[in-house]
């Protein structure tokens, strides 16, 4: 006869499956101040700094969705690239999923629709510091890689 095992429900790991394929898009908003690049970050409701990001609505391209998030969360309007230049992992409510990042050159700022976001400009080093706060080092490293990749691309040409 086999042995039995008693496990209480509270002991089981909480796993919430995401619909497949689940991902989001982000706008990595930037501007040039002289020869320097600055990045526009926004606050989350928990106080962390991040890139404007969100879901892709049906019938919308990924780049258009990223541009929409930039407008809604940061009040940023500009030229967005058609293809993502980088991806990074994000975690939310015990789920890990990819974010596809699109460069957006900010040409105009408006009042963001989501006023609590408090968009602010940062140098690459400052952006990395802000993105690291209140984050596990694994996810902070992902965001640092995005900043480094963007700086490398932007220094290679005049996007």
Domains of the chain listed by start with CATH number: 21-156 (3.90.79.10)
**Summary mean pLDDT of the chain:** 86
Could you report the per-residue pLDDT of 93-146, keeping only the tens digit for each?
A: 778 899 999 999 999 999 988 878 899 999 999 999 999 999 999 999 999 999
Q: H/E element holding 86?
A: strand 86-92
Whole-model pTM: value is: 0.84
Share of the chain above pLDDT 90, in %: 69
For the chain, what is the radius of gyration of the CA atoms? 18
């Amino acid at each position: 006869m086999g042995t039995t095992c008693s496990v209480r429900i509270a002991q089981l790991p909480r796993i919430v499956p995401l619909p497949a394929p689940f991902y989001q898009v982000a706008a990595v908003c930037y501007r040039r101040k002289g020869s320097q690049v600055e990045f526009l970050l926004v606050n989350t409701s928990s106080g962390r700094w991040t890139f404007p990001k969100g879901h892709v609505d049906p019938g919308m391209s990924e780049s258009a969705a990223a541009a929409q998030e930039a407008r809604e969360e940061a009040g940023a309007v500009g030229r967005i690239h058609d293809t993502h230049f980088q991806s990074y992992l994000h975690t939310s409510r015990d789920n890990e999923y990819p974010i596809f990042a699109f460069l957006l050159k900010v040409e105009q700022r408006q009042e963001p629709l989501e006023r609590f976001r408090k968009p602010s400009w940062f140098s690459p080093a400052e952006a990395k510091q802000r993105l690291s706060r209140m984050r596990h080092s694994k996810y902070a490293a992902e965001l640092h890689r995005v900043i480094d990749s963007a700086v490398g691309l932007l220094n290679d040409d005049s996007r």
